[in-house]
Chains A and B, each alone.
Chain A
């Protein structure tokens, strides 16, 4: 029924348009080509001015409506600087936007065609050109200087970083993130990109060493994989980024962090998270938008707020699913979390032993049991993120 009604309405609208068009055409034909375009111009002048007013009302309304739905304020030190630069640019461009639009549409209205009116011959003015070359140039220069000071401060020389900088390695692949922590020795075991290391585990064991971790390097023995990116408040962190198969981009929207992960080309990003997940939730609980009930959980939105990691470079069919949680905690809680993890090396040894024992003994399902051990060692923190979710 609604479909039929909708179709009838559409047909009616099209008919009306057709007849209006036809009428206009016939009148024009009667009046001849040199007809006065004045009446049309007059109406259009008013319509354009009306559009300007509607446009500004629309912008004001959508700002009020959508601003609270946008990303919350940044949770990193450099993010605050970026926000300042953004607002400064918004200030300058906002003035230009409003003024040029008012002037443009006002002129359209004010100088709409009138019979007998004469246009004013005004072909150039070097003074004016100079004025509106110089002013934008100065504004741009201010923005460039401010921008570059911020930009270069975001990328310090990685050799001169503070001693207590945490290093975390994130390697992206279709469609997951491998988050590797250096363990208690704070030193990563090296990775060898060759066929002798990549993909080789033991013949009877399913786990593939896709990262090419070199087990002969003792430093690798306490490295562990995590399912959640844990960070420490006010502690600088250097992300070492890479990708196995295609381009990905390591994107932490709440921290204003984004850096591509490129196969064969290592990249880094250095930043300092400045509030914990719990603190952020407290802050958000003040905002009406975040006090709304989330229909999926039945809780208020701030209560289940989590920082997130996303992929921001098209990487294939499931690009939009590469999600991980990011949790910022105090140092003590972080240390506890580290201790709770089984290093990869230990997990694999256990799994291999279990597998070979089973192989020699019974015909039990091998991979299932070893899966349990290895998955347990690698995804220990999945439970952590659940815990975090209901703080």
Chain B
């Protein structure tokens, strides 16, 4: 179908101002696109770029941790003064750790995950021609890109990128003094600017997602007929809108401390025997503001994965998701509780122990809705007819990772146990499994599943299977043994200063080697995506999986407006699988006469 014709058809159906016929140029179609499908692809590719950068940084510091006494001359070739003699300098080690965290948490698992799939699926699955505002959607993407450009530039400033931890705690980051910490100079200024741009991106995107979900649902698409993906994106957007401004406030105040000599976070600081003039601030205030974002942030990362996995499990189990409403209510509970648990990151900051005990209560309560979700996923695959393609395998892998990582959260959430575990490898294992690897698994499940929708072609299954098993085994091989390094402090460039910490050299080497292998496997995934998007098997039917949701009623070829004619009307909930003697019934199929609507 020619684009011209389609746009006309589409313009007939809807006479909205932005839907008017307009000629697409290369620039408006591929670069400054306002089409949600193109923006989704842009987020995906940008996210993959940052994932490779972030993972590569981790390989560099794994070299240091695995072989602290070995010189690698090639490091000096690529890093110059940061690796004189082939050994990574301490300053750069901490810059690597900081940037790895920042990039993975914000650019990959926030923008790359939620950005890709919210954009792709919200208009498709609620039955809208595009986002509420295509222009704001485009702005959201380009703010993300510019924030990335600023962050990337910070690698090349002479004092190096930010190196005071991705959490940017003052005072080490609150003073613009490179004698204290090299990365706290220009590198951190750029980090703050980048974060501010990123927050604008998240807010623009989030408002758009909420507006689209609430206002642009097609006829018959009641809230209780939305797929769980859409519920997940709705709660993710709400979390982002309510929490990211706190980070913006926090870093703006920190900039005042750094540049204008105010004392929001600084007090009684003695450097080189000199008392600084800052007085009356509290570093703990920053931690409260930071974690008021920082904890919802981990749910911003994992909740979209919840949605994607619920959908993929149900489609490929050929069975309705178990406990649809319980899934929505547990998401809702997690969203509310996410705002009430932030200080569990701060049990040993000297916070009032009574205040700590309230956060213990809420933190452990949040395990209940999480447990409900896990049991519902497991029940979903019970007595299904499981089509075990790479998307499904990653969804199952997600459930396994979420269990393994979630359970260790019960240790850390209990403040007394947190005393010895805080800032040790136990927590490194915990959060990498539960929000790093698990969110990646959710993202992979989503990419493998919706790839035909994105590109009209299929990914290669053989590489997909290798990618899956390699990543599953590799991720457990890297992070599971870290639980045994309980008590070994994290963020140590080497461990030989301490008797209690230096007996895991063999394990550290092992982890580093596995990390390299897993990195190569991810490159295979990237090649698979790029190659398949250009040369993969073509998608022949519009609904290859026999799924019920609206995105599989649109034509294979993309055009702005999604449906060539009227937007279809929705008659039923999205999980009518294995019912009435049929394998599946799409949402646009009207109810038969004797049928009672599920919702």
Contact = CB atoms under 8 A, between A and B. Distances in A.
A188 B375 CA distance: 57
Given A44-B465, A119-B577, A70 B484 contact: yes
B268 A247 contact: no
A276 interface: no
A7 interface: no
Contacts of A259: 348, 350
B422 to A, nearest CB: 6
A148 B424 CA distance: 22
Interface stretch (A105-113, A213-221, A225-233, A364-372): A105-113
A337 interface: no
B317 A82 contact: no
Interface string B462-488: 110110010011001100110010110
Given A93-B411, A132-B372, A264-B266, A320 B387 contact: no
A338 interface: no
Interface stretch (B6-14, B46-54, B233-241, B398-406): B398-406
B319 A122 contact: yes
B416 A147 contact: yes
B181 interface: yes
A140 interface: yes
B319 A173 contact: no
Nearest to A208: B273
Q: Chain B interface: which size bin? A: 35 or more
A152 B321 CA distance: 42
B262 interface: no
Nearest to A116: B385
B41 interface: no
A121 B578 contact: yes
Contacts of A129: 323, 326, 372, 376
Interface string B250-283: 0000000000000000111111011100000111
B333 to A, nearest CB: 10
Given A71-B500, A119-B578, A108 B411 contact: no
A88 B317 CA distance: 36
Contacts of A123: 320-324, 575, 598
The size class of the interface chain A forms with chain B is 35 or more
Contacts of B578: 118-121
B260 to A, nearest CB: 19
Given A208-B273, A318-B90, A85 B414 contact: yes
A256 B420 contact: yes
A244 B270 contact: yes
Contacts of B374: 100
Given A69-B504, A113-B387, A308-B500, A51 B473 contact: yes
A81 B416 contact: yes
Contacts of B383: 111, 119-120, 122
B283 A96 contact: no
Interface stretch (B193-201, B210-218, B363-371): B363-371
Interface of B: 89-91, 94, 163-165, 169, 171-172, 180-182, 266-271, 273-275, 281-284, 317-326, 348-350, 353-354, 356-357, 360-361, 364-365, 367-368, 371-372, 374-376, 378-379, 381-389, 393, 396, 399-400, 403-404, 407-408, 410-411, 414-417, 419-420, 422-424, 458, 460-463, 465-466, 469, 472-473, 476-477, 480-481, 484, 486-487, 489, 491-495, 497-501, 503-504, 507, 524, 536-537, 539-541, 544, 575, 577-579, 583, 598
State the 10 A-B residue pairs at the shortest beta-carbon distance, nearest first: A264-B267, A267-B350, A208-B273, A44-B388, A66-B484, A320-B492, A120-B383, A147-B414, A317-B90, A246-B172
